Chains A and B, each alone.
Chain A
Amino acid sequence: AQKVTQAQTEISVVEKEDVTLDCVYETRDTTYYLFWYKQPPSGELVFLIRRNSFDEQNEISGRYSWNFQKSTSSFNFTITASQVVDSAVYFCALSEKGGSEKLVFGKGTKLTVNP
C-alpha cells in the first residue's frame, strides 16, 4: 500500500530564512509519481511539481528546489530566502502507475513565514 509521511506538522521561520519540508513515501511499485502542492489560506491547492520515479534529477525553480532520493524514499522541498507569501500548507502526494492514477496525500506541513 502506498503511504506519504510529512513528519513536520508546523514550521515557523523568519523571512529570508531557508526552510526544508520533508516528505517520505512508501510504495511497492517501481513506477510511481510524486507531487508537491501548496494550499494558501484561500483553500485552493496549487500544483508545484511532478516527478516520476525514473527521474532522480533534482529540480530548481526560482526560490524552490526539490531533492528526490530513492535510496531514502524521500522527496524534500526547500524554499530559499522565504517570504511571507510562502505561508501556506504544503502537501506531498504519491501516485502509483496502474493504481488508477489516484493521489495519496500526506497530512501536510503548515509553514508560517514571519516578517
Chain B
Amino acid sequence: DGGITQSPKYLFRKEGQNVTLSCEQNLNHDAMYWYRQDPGQGLRLIYYSQIVNDFQKGDIAEGYSVSREKKESFPLTVTSAQKNPTAFYLCASSIAGGAVYEQYFGPGTRLTVT
C-alpha cells in the first residue's frame, strides 16, 4: 500500500536535546513538506522540498533543520534552539510541477519536550 509513514507516533525529550522525526513515503512524490500544529490552530509550514538535495524554509523554520538525500525520505530535526518544540508534527508529500496538487499526510508525531 502506498502512503506516508512517520515514526514514532509519540516522542518525549528533555529540554536541550535535539530530536529527529522520521518521514518516509512510497508514493513516488517529488515534493515533501513538514508542518507543525498547535492545539486549536491550523497547520504552519516549517520546511518543504520539491526535489532531492534541495529544500526551502517555510513560515516557521527557526530552530528546525531538514535534509533530503533520498526522494522517499525527509527527516526533520528539532534542535535545542526551537523555543517551544512541544507540538504535533505532520509530514506530507505531493506531486510537484505544473498545477498545484493535493498533499497527502502521514499520521503525525506528537512531540513533548519537558
Interface size on A, residues (CB 8 A): 26
Contact of B104 among A47, A91, A95 (CB under 8 A): A47
Are B102 and A35 closer than 8 Å at their CB atoms? yes
Interface-side segment among B37-45, B66-74, B76-84: B37-45
B23 within 8 A of A: no
- Of the four ranges (under 10, 10 to 19, 20 to 34, 35 or more), the interface on chain B belongs to 20 to 34
For A91, what are the chain B residues with a Cβ–Cβ distance below 8 Å? 42-43
With contacts A100-B56, A102-B48 known, is A47 near B103, CB below 8 A?
Answer: yes
With contacts A101-B94, A102-B58 known, is A43 near B108, CB below 8 A?
Answer: yes
Nearest CB of B to A25, in Å? 13
Where the two chains meet, the residues of A that have a C-beta atom closer than 8 Å to any C-beta of B are 4, 9, 32-33, 35, 37, 42-47, 50, 52, 91, 95-97, 100-103, 105-108
